[in-house]
Amino acid sequence: MSRHAVVTGAGSGIGHRVAVRFAGLGYQVTLVDINPALLSTAVQDCREAGADAARAVIADLGSPDGPENMITEAWSAAPVDVLVNSAGIYPATPFLSLDARSWDAVLNLNTRAPLLATVALAQRVVESQTANEPSRGASIVNISSGAALRARPGAAPYSTSKAALEMATKASALELGQYGIRVNAVAPGFVTVNSSTNPVTEEYAAAVSGNPLGRRGEPDDIARAVVWLAGDEAEWITGETLRVDGGSSTGAMNLPLHWAPQAGGEAGIGNS
């Protein structure tokens, strides 16, 4: 029987490509999104990639019961082996304009929803182990961001939500490992997704996409990493965040040399 992967935010961008890649590997795929039109197209793409059993679940994961209801519906089709928490929002909100509603909207979807979905899946996995499948486990991959390490103007809720998600990844991995449940995260650098939900200006994209490898990321760059981290080749990895960012987290690309090159000698090395 094929493995079952559930991917949230699967209507577009990174989530879409993650779902299609799992489909191409023979997984049964459940795609979750709040946008029915995008979800319908993504399901068709998965079926064309080889997942005849690809199915859609329309869900508002920012609501308190959304993650639990999603896992209930997905599990009713087949036990879930992989959960990828990719749904998220990235609104631009100046700090002085923040209020409880705007803060909660980001944290509820970006942090609370992956955590509650992880809890809901883990409960079912553990229940199945106490019945007839003691060896059943699961692999969970959360989609974080480079913003978890670097604050940026207008993104206080977003950066906080992703930093919290990385700690939630560690905390859940610590407690769930004994049940054969691995929990990891992938933190993309700037990825070109052309999202209508999370639009960014070209000025912003240019400012944050500099990296040692010299190009912007594509959704498939992230999808490859997610599928690997979720799979058997990474079976001894849990509680980790894999940064897939072209090297942008290694340091600052746009700073000048902090010394003046010296004529007649090696730059930056003084004479003794």
Active site members: 158
**Burial letters 160-179, b for 16+ CB under 10 A, else e:** bbbbbbbebbeebbeebeee
| Cα 151 to Cα 78, 99, 190, 208, 261, distances in angstroms | 40, 18, 14, 12, 33
Measure the CA–CA gap between 19 and 81, rounded to whole angstroms: 14
254 closest CA partner among 214, 207, 204: 207
DSSP letter at 217 equals B
In single-letter form, the type of residue at position 109 comes to L
- For the record, the structure tokens of 115 come out as 């955590």
